[in-house]
């Protein structure tokens, strides 16, 4: 593993710490033979907690939404919220919602 990460055939100046070298590479974490990216894990040995982290992210977002007090702006309370949509590449609201 050390030899792969310090190979001059794979990396330019492998003995220096250059984290930007990972930015320009196209990499898919599953089903790959790009062993130079092994510090990030790959294949069957990818991070075991990745599914847990994904579920926890949804729980965290739900908890944040639950614990804030959500109200409409004053003009929306008087006139009602405009729920009309506009068509584009995706469907979005004609009048965007505002966080206050």
Output the CA–CA distances (angstroms, integers) from residue 67 to 37, 60, 62, in the order listed: 40, 11, 9
Q: What is the pLDDT of residues 13-39, one digit of tens each?
A: 888 888 787 776 666 655 556 666 665
Q: What is the pLDDT of residues 36-59, one digit of tens each?
A: 666 556 566 667 777 888 889 999
Written as one string, the DSSP assignment of 26-94 is ---SSS---GGGGGG--GGGS-TTHHHHHHHHHHHHHHHHHHS-----HHHHHH-----EEESSSEEES
47 is in an annotated binding site: yes
Each domain of the chain, given as residue ranges in start order, spans 2-45
Report pTM. 0.36
Closest among 41, 39, 46, 32 to 11, alpha carbons compared: 39
């Amino acid at each position: 593993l050390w030899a792969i990460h310090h190979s001059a055939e794979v990396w330019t100046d492998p003995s220096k710490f250059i984290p930007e070298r990972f930015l320009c590479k196209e990499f898919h974490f599953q089903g790959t033979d790009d062993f130079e990216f092994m510090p990030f894990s790959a294949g069957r040995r990818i991070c075991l907690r990745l599914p847990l982290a994904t579920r926890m992210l949804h729980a965290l977002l739900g908890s944040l939404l639950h614990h804030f007090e959500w109200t409409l702006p004053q003009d929306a309370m008087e006139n009602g919220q405009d729920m009309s949509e506009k068509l584009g590449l995706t469907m979005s609201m004609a009048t965007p919602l505002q966080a206050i």
